[in-house]
Structure 1
Amino acid sequence: MGRTALITGATGFVGGHLAELLAAQGWRVRALVRPSSDTTRLRALGAELAAGSLDDVDALTAAADGADTVFHLAALTTAPDEATFHRANAEGTRNVARAALRGGTRPRRLVYLSSYAACGPATGGRPRRVAETPAPLTAYGRTKLQGEAAAREVEPAGVELVTLRAPAVYGPGDRAFLPVFRLAKRGVAPVPTGPARHVHLIYVHDLVTALANAADARPGTWAVAEPVAHPYAELVAAIGRSLGKNPVRLPVPAGLLRAAGALAERFGGMVGGTGVFSREKADEMLAEAWVCDLEGSEALLPRATPLAEGLAETARWYRTQGWL
């Protein structure tokens, strides 16, 4: 029998793809799931379901016991306040780390999925290096950085740690880019005004390949992405091309973008929602560049999917599922 992997966040976008890949590679997949989670996809893979949450150290301990590698992917990307982000992304990761050390048979390795948001945007026209002092712009980024620190608590006890910082992830099953695809289908491509802004991206199949390879790669912190800094305007144009469209570029002034973020926060608070847009998210969109130094990541991702290819697959999936 193959090695056992515990995946937190296995019912999510990236986690579901990782579970499929590991199962195909012969791993025994164990997934931490809430009672309310849709586990249809995991059951089809023959995954072992471990009931629990990031708040429950006892359940986490039982789930991690005997696993070769713990892949910690569960996180909040939207929340009503920083305290909620902190509880999930920082304290939740600390609980995973503690659980890994409490079991009768400790995992050999912890693989933690972090984010470019944890280190902050690049400035001065050069990629941000892993060794640079982080400067996150958002509550999400700050708490993912705190999660990185919490994950390091396993190292003194001899559990190896690999931390992957990923940029925006797209691909089949993703909902974050779906509104951009829908606008492009209608022939509109909103682009912030001002200087050209560049971004790294990663196709979901590439990210899960990197995560799976992290089970045996050299411990450390690595940024993983397609090694191309795409101008944001070109990104939205490429999304249009994936749909056979040539969307009209709609300039959005920075002030209007921030005002929209403030309005979204106010409206979200009124209706009790968490929302996906805010003033902080506007600041992220207006940052100079989200580009990191990828040196050393070739061992994790030998070949990255070109943007046009990944977008075409994503658009095809959206259409098949009736999302577009």
Structure 2
Amino acid sequence: MKNVVLVTGASGYLGGRLCHALLSQGYCVRAFVRKTSDLSSLPPPTDGGANDGALHLAYGDVMDYPSLLEAFSGCHVVFHAAALVEPWLPDPSRFSSVNVGGLKNVLKAYKETKTIEKIIYTSSFFALGFTDGHVGDEIQMHSAKFFCTEYEKSKAIADKIALEAAAEGVPIVPVYPGVIYGPGKVTTGNIVAHMLVERFNGRLPGYVGQEKGFSFCHVDDVVQGHMAAMTKGRLGERYLLTGENASFKDVFDMAAMITQTAKPRFRIPLFLIEAYGWICVLFSRITGKLPLISPPMVHVLRHQWAYTCEKAKTELDYNPRNLREGLAEMLPWLKSLGLIRY
């Protein structure tokens, strides 16, 4: 029987596709989800005991330690992919509770569980900080002098905790995806999908952001990077699971070429986007619906977040597709859902 693998955040954009990949490789997967989670991205759970290629649900929350500890029981590998991924929340303390407190609980549960051989921790490129004027790699540490978002701050703090745990002998491998895009759930974690929907529906008529890069990575490439980190990743080593460095202007231009539609004709100044962000935040406080654009997101757009994934290519055989190839797959998917027209 193959190892029993626990996936936290299994109902999320990345976690759901990770569960599918693990099942396809014959692993017994324990999906850690909340009672209220949308399970549409997961295959139907398997009845009965543990067996190869089976999915079992474990209900709980990373902030609820007893439920997490129970889910750890009998597992051999843990993918800690659960995170609160939002550019803005009315209660910013939730970022620390979930992203920092959740990791602390995972590490505590590991110490009480004797079967865990490896923890793959999904961090974020935000944990390393912006890269204005250069291309970052795994050596980069966040300066912690300025944070664009509370999410970034929480991931930087959690990254430090993960590295300290590795130094103490915890078998943890932190991985750092870039801007994840591709088919799957249209959640906040799939920001590229949201931007394309706004673009093709006329609500985002111009380019946004500077001529500075983000590192775009297809969700399925990131999943394969996680799988490789499980089998090949060296304990305590950091791996950037990023991809092509490009701007959102590049994304919009490629999308126009792929769909044979017109490119935007102008750039929207960031001060206008920030003003719009404040209006969105105001409406969010009234309606309770989280905004797509917020002032923290504009702070992110003012910087470069470009990284190299050469280490993952060398050690994990990570092979990310280029952005044009990924968008050529993603756009017809958005069209098939009726979210965009072209």
TM-score normalised to the size of structure 2? Answer: 0.86
Aligned match of 1:87: 97
Q: How does 1:26-37 map to 2 (within 5 A)?
A: 26-37=26-37
Partner SS state of residue 32, structure 2: strand
Matched, 1:243 2:259: yes
Within a 5 Å distance, the mapping from 1:1-324 to structure 2 comes to 1-40=1-40, 41-43=42-44, 46-78=54-86, 79-103=89-113, 105-123=114-132, 125-135=133-143, 136-152=147-163, 154-155=165-166, 158-175=169-186, 176-186=191-201, 189-192=205-208, 196-216=211-231, 217-219=233-235, 220-226=237-243, 228-287=244-303, 289-298=304-313, 299-324=315-340
Rate the CA distance shift 1:83–1:157 in 2: closer, same or farther, 3 A: same
Report if aligned partners of 1:189, 1:247 keep a CA contact under 8 Å in 2. no
The letter for the 2-side match of 1:131 is: I
Instruction: Rate the CA distance shift 1:263–1:214 in 2: closer, same or farther, 3 A.
Output: same
More strand by share: 1
Q: Following TM superposition, by how much is the alpha carbon of 1:117 offset from its aligned partner in structure 2, in angstroms?
A: 1.4
Within 1, Cα distance between the matches of 2:259 and 2:62? 39
Quote the Cα distance in structure 2 between the aligned partners of 1:162 and 1:243.
39
- One-letter amino acid of the structure 2 residue matched with residue 81 of structure 1: D
What 5-or-longer segments of structure 1 have no aligned partner?
A: none
Q: Deviations over 1:217-249 (max 9, x none)?
A: 1121121112x3213311211122333322223
Task: State the 1:209 CA deviation.
Answer: 0.3
**Which moves more between the two structures, 207-216 or 58-67?**
58-67
Deviation, structure 1 residue 270: 2.7
Contact 1:18 1:208 in 2 (8 A): yes
1:21-48 Cα shifts (integer Å, max 9, x gaps): 0111111111111112233523257411
Contact 1:5 1:69 in 2 (8 A): yes
Q: Which moves more between the two structures, 198-207 or 231-240? A: 231-240
Distance 2:201 2:257 in 1: 12
Q: Which runs of 5+ in 2 are unaligned?
A: 47-53
Contact 1:7 1:73 in 2 (8 A): yes
1:108–1:159 Cα contact (<8 Å) kept:
no
User: Structure 1 residues 305 and 234, CA, compared in 2 at 3 Å: closer, same or farther?
Assistant: same
Secondary structure at the aligned position of 1:200 is classed as strand
Residue 49 of structure 2 is matched in structure 1 by none
Distance between the aligned counterparts of 2:289 and 2:39, measured in 1? Answer: 25
Task: Give the CA deviation at 1:186.
Answer: 4.6
Distance change in 2, residues 1:115/1:148 (3 Å): same
For the residues of structure 2 that align with 1:302 and 1:54, how far apart are their CA atoms? Answer: 29
Aligned equivalents of 1:239, 1:280: Cα separation in 2: 26
1:301 Cα deviation (Å)? 4.6
Give, in angstroms, the shift of residue 171 of structure 1: 0.5
The verdict on how the C-alpha distance between 1:273 and 1:2 changes in structure 2, with shifts beyond 3 A counting, is same
Give the distance between the partners of 2:289 and 2:194, measured in 1 at CA: 18
**Residues of 2 paired with 1:243 and 1:60: CA distance?**
45
Is this contact kept in 2: 1:32–1:51, CA < 8 A?
yes
Shift of 1:174: 4.3
- Whether contact under 8 Å (1:258, 1:279) holds in the other structure is yes
Cα shift at 1:311: 0.8
SS at match of 2:206: strand
Q: CA deviation at 1:185?
A: 2.9
Contact 2:83 2:98 in 1 (8 A): yes
Does the aligned pair in 1 maintain the 2:120–2:226 contact within 8 Å?
A: yes
| TM-score, scaled relative to structure 1 | 0.91
Matched AA of 1:6: L
